[in-house]
Amino acid sequence: MTVQCSAYHTCRPRPPTLRLTVAGHTGTPKVYHKEVHEGKWKITMEMTWILDNAHQTITCEVKHPSSRSASKTVSLKGQCSVTKVTINPSSEEFLEGVEKDVVCSVSYACQEQRPDLSWNYGGMKVSSEFKKRGSGSWESRSTLTFKAGASDHNQALKCTARFTNGQIQEAYITLKVKRAMFSLGWSFSMPSQVTGLQGSCLVIPCHFEYSSTLPSDVSVMWYKYTPGEYPVVYSPARPGDVISDFRGKTSLYGSPSDRSCSLKINPVEMNHHRQRLYTWVDPKPISSYHRQNYQDKTVEIYVTDRVDKPEMQIIGIPKVGEQISVQCSAYHTCPATPPKLSLIGFPETGRAHETQAQDVKWKTTLVQTWVIVEDQQTVSCRVRHPGGQEAQADITIQAECSVGEIITDPGPVEFLEGVVKDVTCSVFYTCSKQQPAIVWNYKDMPASSKTTNMAATKWKTVSSIMFTASMDDHGKTLTCTAEFPDGKRSMTSIDLHVKRAMFSLGWSFSMPSQVTGLQGSCLVIPCHFEYSSTLPSDVSVMWYKYTSTREYPVVYNPAPW
């Protein structure tokens, strides 16, 4: 925009001064002098700028050397131009389920004409900005974070600009949507990563479901995840297409008719480390779908040459002489050919069984049962994998030494006063180191002991005493106590029933040990007795025949009844 302001004067040597003011703009104006006719001149000031407002005020002021001045103000009304609304990108293919920024922009000359931009797709993230691009040029932008669905294919994505003066502009693009691999009529589940042992088999667990009826000709394929390519890892129809890393090493573990897509790699090698694989269970070609963000649907293989030790566990409470079971377990990734477990030094009588411990691991377990014959025993378990790797674990069994019954012989019996009787106390136990010391409560009796190994886990210690009962012992107990090295004690007792002896009385007698008589004649057996105390007034003498039985046949009784 160019504006000129002119004033006439009659003094060329001292012309008036002009000042041209344009609101909001500064610049260096040009000044021209021109003689209009003889004795009269014209001074002109000219300024050029870019009009950036629809309404502009311009003031021109002239000031003469005599200090007299004059001014004039004019208002300009400009026309605001608007460019065409554009959408970017305009023709790019959209990937189903993948967010992509779409920008709608429009330029215009006047700030007050700033438009409102809107989209025909709601429920998506939108951000707006407005900025000055230069003098007399403004731009508004609206960015839509657009996530395409399969149903958006061939639909219009439209942007509408509504200006303050009522003007409306629109732009649209036709959506071209490529379906995603994870948006299918089927779905599958598998771990995000698995770890295999070098040289052994590796099974990647995989299960799929169809949203409709399972096709009769369903086929499972596996691919290596490579941007822009589809390297085949397993194909039942085209085994020759399998890449060299996996050729001849892959097969399905399970049947597709059972909705299994599990892949078996045998053997797994170090060149498989960190490779990502995915499965495909669709009749349509895999290349007709995009794989953006599909890496999350892959499984990453880790390969190790380190063998974990087996896990060992004691089942039950170990006791010498009793059965004990030891369980040995090893984890692996190949249920088809599990590792072999063995307990070193034991006959292979145990049977191993398989269980699935986690999504990506199986567990083989061996249980061995035997009778413990030692109170301390170390048991070793060895695992051997199909690749030849071995590992061993040890466990020490600290068995409890049991104490059995304690028996006295004879049992309840009558003791005869003054008569020596052999009494034994027998203690049974399972460990030789538990040999007890046997103590009697009668200290002054001759005693002896003997220890015998009766069987592998059965020991016996017998203590014998020569016990002579007195009348004072009647009603008391004869006690046998077994004191073991670990501080344990066992005891048993016999209740003493003592029968007095005939010669242990308050009187004594004397007579010959034998006499001889003549058959048919009289015989007198001399006998004299003494009381240790005063002779009882009612003392009576009787005679008996001695027998070996518990009988007392009377020979003489002064008062028969």
In the block, residue with structure tokens 């409470």: 317
- Point out the domain boundary residue: 147, 178, 209: 178
Could you tell me the two tokens for 297? Answer: 């649907």
Specify the DSSP class assigned to residue 435: P
The reported pLDDT for the residue numbered 32 is 85
As a whole number of angstroms, the distance between CA 161 and CA 522 comes to: 165
User: Does residue 421 form part of some domain?
Assistant: yes
The reported pLDDT for the residue numbered 223 is 92
Q: Do 201 and 279 fall within a single domain?
A: yes
Q: Let me know: does 167 contact 178? Beta carbons within 8 Å.
A: no
- Point out the domain boundary residue: 355, 374, 398: 398
The reported pLDDT for the residue numbered 291 is 57
Question: Left if phi > 0, otherwise alpha if psi is -120 to 50, otherwise beta: which for 524?
Answer: beta
Question: Left if phi > 0, otherwise alpha if psi is -120 to 50, otherwise beta: which for 345?
Answer: left
User: Does residue 543 form part of some domain?
Assistant: no
Q: Do 435 and 385 fall within a single domain?
A: no
Q: Do 240 and 135 fall within a single domain?
A: no
As a whole number of angstroms, the distance between CA 418 and CA 429 comes to: 35
User: Does residue 544 form part of some domain?
Assistant: no
CB atoms within 10 A of CB 89: 12
Could you tell me the two tokens for 272? Answer: 């498989």
User: Does residue 260 form part of some domain?
Assistant: yes
In the block, residue with structure tokens 């909001």: 24
As a whole number of angstroms, the distance between CA 378 and CA 350 comes to: 18
Q: Do 378 and 431 fall within a single domain?
A: no
Helix and strand tally (H, E) in the chain? 0, 45
As a whole number of angstroms, the distance between CA 331 and CA 439 comes to: 55
Q: Do 324 and 296 fall within a single domain?
A: no
Q: Do 41 and 91 fall within a single domain?
A: no
CB atoms within 10 A of CB 395: 16
Q: Do 143 and 218 fall within a single domain?
A: no
Q: Let me know: does 267 contact 387? Beta carbons within 8 Å.
A: yes
Q: Do 133 and 233 fall within a single domain?
A: no
**Residue closest to 49 by CA, chosen among 58, 38, 41, 40:** 58
Please count the residues of the chain. 561
User: Does residue 131 form part of some domain?
Assistant: yes
Question: What phi, psi does 374 have (nearest 5°)?
Answer: -130, 150
User: Does residue 242 form part of some domain?
Assistant: yes
**Residue closest to 246 by CA, chosen among 269, 215, 214:** 269
Cis peptide leading into residue 191 (ω within 30°): no
We report the CATH number of the domain holding residue 455 as 2.60.40.10
Total structural domains within the chain? 5
As a whole number of angstroms, the distance between CA 250 and CA 238 comes to: 13
Q: Do 123 and 39 fall within a single domain?
A: no
As a whole number of angstroms, the distance between CA 150 and CA 110 comes to: 41
DSSP reduced 3-state for 454: strand
User: Does residue 552 form part of some domain?
Assistant: no
Give mean pLDDT in consecutive 10-residue pieces for the chain, a chain of 561 residues: 84 86 76 84 83 74 88 77 86 78 89 88 90 81 88 88 88 80 70 91 88 79 87 91 94 90 94 92 68 70 93 89 90 90 79 79 90 85 91 90 88 81 92 90 88 87 91 88 90 86 71 90 91 85 86 86 61
Partnered with residue 260 across adjacent β-strands are 207
- Point out the domain boundary residue: 356, 372, 398: 398
Structural domain that includes position 139: 86-178
Q: Do 190 and 300 fall within a single domain?
A: yes
Q: What is the largest CA-CA distance in the chain?
A: 220
Q: Do 190 and 299 fall within a single domain?
A: yes
Q: Do 274 and 358 fall within a single domain?
A: no
DSSP reduced 3-state for 88: strand
Question: Left if phi > 0, otherwise alpha if psi is -120 to 50, otherwise beta: which for 67?
Answer: left
SS3 per-residue string spanning 26-85: CCCCEEEEEEEECCEEEEEEEEECCCCCCEEEEEEEEECCCCCEEEEEEEEECCCCECCC
Could you tell me the two tokens for 431? Answer: 């460990």
User: Does residue 540 form part of some domain?
Assistant: no
DSSP reduced 3-state for 231: coil
